[in-house]
Amino acid sequence: MCTLSTDIRSRPENGHSCYDHLTARFAPFRPSADASMVDPGRLEAGGVQSSVECLLRSGDKSIGGITVNRVSRRAVLAGGLAASAASFDGIVPLLAANQAEQALKDVASARGIRYGSTAMASQLLAGDSFTDLLLREVAALVPENEMKWLHMSSMPFQSDYRVADCLVEFAAAHGLLLRGHNLLWYWSTPKWFRELADRKTARTAMLRRVTDMVTRYHGRIDSWDVVNEPVDGAGDRTDHLRADVFLKQIGPEYLSLAHMAARAADQDARLVLNECGVEYDTPDMDRKRAAVLELLENLRKRDVPVDALGIQAHLSARRYPFSEQKLRNYLKRAAAMGLEIQITELDCTDELAPADISERDRIVADEYRRFLDVVLDEPAVKIVMTWGLSDRYSWIVRHENNPEQRRRDGMEERPLPFDRDLQRKPAWYALAEAFTRAPTRERVSTREHSPAAEKFSSKRPDWIFAR
Ligand code: XIL
């Protein structure tokens, strides 16, 4: 019987990442005391079933048999507006009076943009008012960790889908668009895959992972991050692929194989190449942007199906210079390839901002605004996801991010649109204001794919394995 992998400590052997430009080394991930993973105890037989039921029942405000106290809308608004008066005059007046009362998803959708957030099953199971707030504010959901391969598979060729299923059911029950994150990520790959001795088995395992996931959730996932962070901007490979476990175990064809397998398993899911470290004006990020664009052009030339470019957008207030022009060019060039653009993991660290909370919140809001004003001006940007909604649940606050981007004064970081008590922060208004200023997108009712879609759509997944 397979069990959910709780060993999130296995590290990639050559673990360099998009944070390399900071020269910092990642601390090993630890299971967090907070809610970074579902408590394995919950996953024992029976527990899971009730978890599924819990999540489904949350629609009628009963989570795990606990009646959820509805967050008082009035309290949220009162808190938010009071804060706005104190610390960000000048922002609110840009919003029409009724917009200040709207949810972010509504402000965004008025411009044809989907706004969503990540969440974990454990957060939705906590039975607190966070679930209510999430359902009020977001139109899209992305599991934070539960779909990652490492979290699903502790034994060769076996996966535990139960927690991922919960989130898929939760999204369906509440009409949320669902992003699939992710099929492959070097940082979150099972130990057994790293240890496979021959290429053919590794290739089969990778294709099985992609095909099984995409097939299982066929029709339920809007966009899949097929390979998360495949690019190395600083390496000397002409294909710009990161020298990671997939390159080592399979070879450079792994990326196109994964995309083709995903397309074959669900022709309508948008296939996304999701990258980090492209948001600012540094020589490393210049190289990264150029490398991503070159890789995408290359994939296009070879008819590899890719539908969208994901920009993670883990921002950091006051850390880097910013170039509006460089970011605009990056977006324009991706859009010119016919790609949709998605902002997939927006949040903002505040380690270089002063301790004073209203000053800090203002600085973080400014960082959000400066970034979003540029990206939302590009009509190809159709989805904006924040990596969490409230500071109560953030990988930054849990210190699972780059150690250099943590506060040194021991104060809690404040990276997201709502604070720990679910009150709106200036960042909420920065998002709302940027959505309001954005040009209106044409609503995309049907999914558009690259011409490669046609080419692969009639093929059965088997063709990929037949070599
Ligand atoms: C992070 C999660 O938020 C953490 O809980 C986990 O410990 C590590 O992964 N880029 C990504 C996300 O694509 O999957 C990462 O999520 C954050 C960086």
pLDDT tens for the chain, residues 1 to 467: 222 232 232 333 333 343 332 222 222 222 232 333 333 333 333 333 344 443 444 333 332 222 223 333 333 333 333 333 333 334 444 566 566 679 999 999 999 999 999 999 999 977 689 999 999 999 999 999 999 999 999 999 999 999 999 999 999 999 999 999 999 999 999 999 999 999 999 999 999 999 999 999 999 999 999 999 999 999 999 999 999 999 999 999 999 999 999 999 999 999 999 999 999 999 999 999 999 999 999 999 999 999 999 999 999 999 999 999 999 999 999 999 999 999 999 999 999 999 999 999 999 999 999 999 999 999 999 999 999 999 999 999 999 999 999 999 999 999 999 999 999 999 999 999 999 999 999 855 344 444 333 433 434 344 444 33
What DSSP assignment string belongs to 69-136?
PPPPHHHHHHHHHHHHHHH-TTTGGGS-TTGGGS-HHHHHHTTT-EEEEEE-HHHHHS-STHHHHHHH
* The pLDDT value given to residue 125: 79
Closest ligand 1 atom to residue 400 Cα is 7
Distance, in Å, from the CA atom of 417 to the CA atom of 368, rounded to the nearest integer, reads: 10
Distance, in Å, from the CA atom of 431 to the CA atom of 367, rounded to the nearest integer, reads: 10
Please name the residue whose Cα sits nearest to atom 16 of ligand 1: 144
Residue 264: CB atoms within 10 A of its CB come to 23
Using the mean position of ligand 1's atoms as its centre, give its distance from the Cα of residue 432 in Å. 25
User: Under DSSP, is residue 343 helix (H, G, I), strand (E, B) or coil?
Assistant: strand
Using the mean position of ligand 1's atoms as its centre, give its distance from the Cα of residue 220 in Å. 22
Burial of 92 (0-12, 13-18, 19+ CB in 10 A): middle
Distance of CA 347 to the CA centre of its chain: 10
Alpha helices in 310-437 (DSSP H): 324-336, 357-375, 426-437
Domains of the chain, each with CATH number or no CATH: 78-437 (3.20.20.80)
Using the mean position of ligand 1's atoms as its centre, give its distance from the Cα of residue 121 in Å. 15
Closest ligand 1 atom to residue 228 Cα is 13
* The pLDDT value given to residue 442: 80
Please name the residue whose Cα sits nearest to atom 4 of ligand 1: 395
What's the pTM value of the predicted model, to 2 decimals? 0.81
Of 148, 142, 137, nearest to 118 by C-alpha is: 142
Distance, in Å, from the CA atom of 447 to the CA atom of 137, rounded to the nearest integer, reads: 24
Closest ligand 1 atom to residue 344 Cα is 13
Please name the residue whose Cα sits nearest to atom 3 of ligand 1: 395
Please name the residue whose Cα sits nearest to atom 12 of ligand 1: 144
Distance, in Å, from the CA atom of 90 to the CA atom of 76, rounded to the nearest integer, reads: 20
Ligand 1 neighbours (beta carbon < 6 A): 29, 36, 144-145, 228, 276, 312, 345, 395, 400
